[in-house]
Every structure is written in structure tokens, then in C-alpha cells.
Amino acid sequence: MLVLLTTLNPSIATARHDHTPTMEQELLPLLADTQSPAADTRKAAELQLLRLYSNEAFPLSLAAIASHNSVPANLRQSALSVLRTFIQAAWSPNLDEFKGQVLVNDANKAHIRRVLLELATTAEVAERKVKASASYAVSKIASADFPEQWPELLPTLLHIINDPNGTDSALHGALRVLLDLVDTGFSEEQFFNIARDLVSSLFAVATNESRKTILRALAVSVFRTCFDTFEMVLEQHKAVVKQFMDEALGGWFPFFISTMKAPLPQAPSEEEENKEGEIPSQWRGLIALKLQVVKVGI
């Protein structure tokens, strides 16, 4: 840990915000202790982390640790987990878990939002679990801040999704964030306001045969979550939902039918399956795409 601290600290000190590097030095061993098999060690670390809530550098330092590639993935995930708990407790009265006092100023909120969204969607992040943890944190913030305090969130995600030159990793991250947002981050009103643009962008990905099938399957999964949301509000908004679904499904239905009719490629051999390559990737991707179409249930 001492080696990690000395190599990590100089670069973290340059993280684009005005906070002391000693906070990261203090947090790293605590984050490691939260994963200890010893209950007393875990509880002591968790208590110490709670005591740091009132320090304005605390959430900034967690975000810096999470976004730093030289930190082991398990500690980055731990930083994101602690940050998410902090956000739930101290970010906004609009959150159900809010404990009564906002402990983040507006400037620091803007910085944390930017760091987490970059972490969730950036092409440089290889660890899927880190990206998934960042995505969930983004959706939690969005449920409090979108669209008034975070109007650029959806345009940023749709830009990534609609970028023909975007990387697969960035697209995967943006779709993952949208999946979390539609599932837990948007209110009914927010969802209705963005549904048309969102569903249109998802359709473009799902039907783009130049994209990996696993990403097309993820786009269908997000659409399925949208569809579930429409079902939940159908009774209160029958006319609006019916009109929208009639428009949207005019394109989706033929795609679903052609996807189900498409033959599966030859199954990979056992030797191929045990390797990372194009053949097993195509096989798994097409299976995932067909399964997502079936799950839509229409």
C-alpha cells in the first residue's frame, strides 16, 4: 500500500480540482479495509469514512481515485460504492435516502457529475465493473439533478450513441448509463419528455449491422426497459402512450421479425469457445440479440 500511495499521489495531486492530495492518501487504506474479511476492520473503516463526510474534499477525492487507472480495480469500485452512498445521503433533498444536510456545493457537484459521466462512458476504461459502478452513480445523481441542474446529461449520451465514429466501449458505456437511467433515474414526466429522441437513437443502434451484435442487444434491452415504463403508465396516459407506440413500433416490429428469422451462425467449437475471438463473440452476440427481442414480448 505504501508503494501505491507514493506512486499514486503525485498524479492525483494534479486532478483538475483544488483539493489536497493527502485526502487520497487517507482514503486508500480505508477503502482497502472496507473489503477486509475481518468484521472489526471493516466497521472501523466504514465509521472513519462516515466521519469524513463533512470534509468538502471527500467526494472529490473518491471521484479522483475511481477515475485513476493506476489504482487497482477493486479499490476504484470501493471508492465508487462509498461515493454512491455519500451521494444518497448528502447530495439532494430530492433523494429518498437524504439525511437532512447537503454536503456538496454546486461547483463540486458539477465536477463530480462530469468525472462520473466520463468514467461511465470513456473508451479508456477497460474494467466493466468500474464502468457499471460509475453508471449507477450517474443514474442516482440524475434522479435528483436532471434536467434542471444537469441539462447536458441526455444530449451528451445521445451524442455518444449517435456518433458513427464512436468506439464500441464508449457506446457500451452510454447504453449502460441509459439503461440505469430509464430503470431508476427518470421520473415519468422526465421520461415522456425524452422518450422520442431516446427510442429513435436506440433504434439506430439496434438496426445498425456494422455494430457488434452484443451492443445491438444492449440497445434492445434499453428499449425493453422503455417499453416496460410505458406499460406502467398506460392507464394514466392511454392516448399519449398509444400514439407514441404506434409510431415507434412501425419500425421496431419489422426489425424484431427479421431478427427472429435470422439463422444462427455455426456454433463455435469448444476450443474456439475457450478463446476470445470473433466467432464466439458473434455467436454470443446474436444469441443475446434474439433473447432481448423475445423479452420485449410483443
One domain for residues 132 and 18: yes
Cis status of the peptide bond prior to 147, with omega within 30 of 0: yes
One domain for residues 67 and 131: yes
pLDDT digits (tens, 9 = 90+) for 200-215: 999 999 999 999 999 9
pLDDT digits (tens, 9 = 90+) for 217-261: 999 999 998 888 877 777 777 787 788 778 777 889 899 999 988
Last residue of one domain, picked from the residues 136, 151, 166: 151
One domain for residues 192 and 285: yes
One domain for residues 8 and 53: yes
Domain interval for residue 259: 154-298
Q: Is residue 257 left, alpha or beta, with left meaning phi > 0 and alpha meaning psi from -120 to 50?
A: alpha
Can you tell me whether residue 211 is helix, strand or coil? Answer: coil
One domain for residues 141 and 160: no
Last residue of one domain, picked from the residues 108, 135, 151: 151
Q: Which residues fall within 8 angstroms of residue 45, CB to CB, at 6 or more apart?
A: 30, 31, 33, 34, 36
One domain for residues 90 and 217: no
One domain for residues 181 and 107: no
Q: How many domains does the chain have?
A: 2
One domain for residues 1 and 140: yes
One domain for residues 49 and 193: no
One domain for residues 114 and 19: yes
One domain for residues 74 and 178: no
Q: Residue 123 pLDDT > 90, yes or no?
A: no
Q: In the predicted model, what is the mean pLDDT of residues 16-29?
A: 73
